[in-house]
Each structure stands twice: as C-alpha cells, then as structure tokens.
Amino acid sequence: MIEVLNLTEIMELALKITLIFYGVFVFYLFGKFEKIPYSARQTIFVIGNGGCLFLAGGLITSNFFLIKGGIFILIIHALIDAHYLISRYEMFKELEKEEKKSNEKK
C-alpha cells in the first residue's frame, strides 16, 4: 500500500539525496581535477545554500537530523572555499618566487 509522507519525512529524504549527490560530486571533482573547477563552483554554491535551508527547516520543526545535515553541508562548503583560497594563495606565492628568480637573473 502507498504510504503518505508528511513534510518532515520529505525534507529528510531530500536531505539524504542532497548529501549523497554532494558527496559524489565533490569526490568526483577532487579525484579528477584535484580542485573544484570554476565552472562547477556555481553548483557547489547552490548546494551550499541548500544547507542553510535544511538548517532552517530543522530549527523550525525541531528536527535534529535536519539540523545536523544542514550544518554538515555548510561545513563542507566552508572547507571547499578554504581549499580554494589556500590554493590561490599558494599559486600567487609561487608566481612571486618565479618573478624574483627571473629578476635576479637579469
């Protein structure tokens, strides 16, 4: 028999699907490119905003699973952004070293 789901169960199901998709997508990108390409950053940003919605839904309905899932998505999004900033910093640092070496040779 078909069971009717209430709103909280639908939100929990959407969170589970989002977490699986987010995890597979991030592992695929880091495995293939060793970074998040610029073209995929918008998708990551949209899923990161989904974390805010799950967190808000969990706070409104007092659902601890939604709260944990929303915080988890936000933390992963913050770590991805930190990785992006650190890699850009390292890239610019290497460029400065190369410029100094080329200036010393002249």
30-74 pLDDT, tens digit each: 778 777 777 788 888 888 888 899 999 999 999 999 999 999 999
Sequence-distant (≥ 6) Cβ neighbours of residue 70 within 8 angstroms? 15, 51, 52, 53, 54, 55, 56, 57, 58
What's the pTM value of the predicted model, to 2 decimals?
Answer: 0.79
DSSP state of 40: G
Check if the beta carbon of residue 64 is closer than 8 Å to that of residue 100: no
Q: How far is residue 15 from each of residues 46, 55, 60, 74, measured CA to CA in Å?
A: 14, 10, 15, 13
2 — pLDDT class (breaks 50, 70, 90) = low
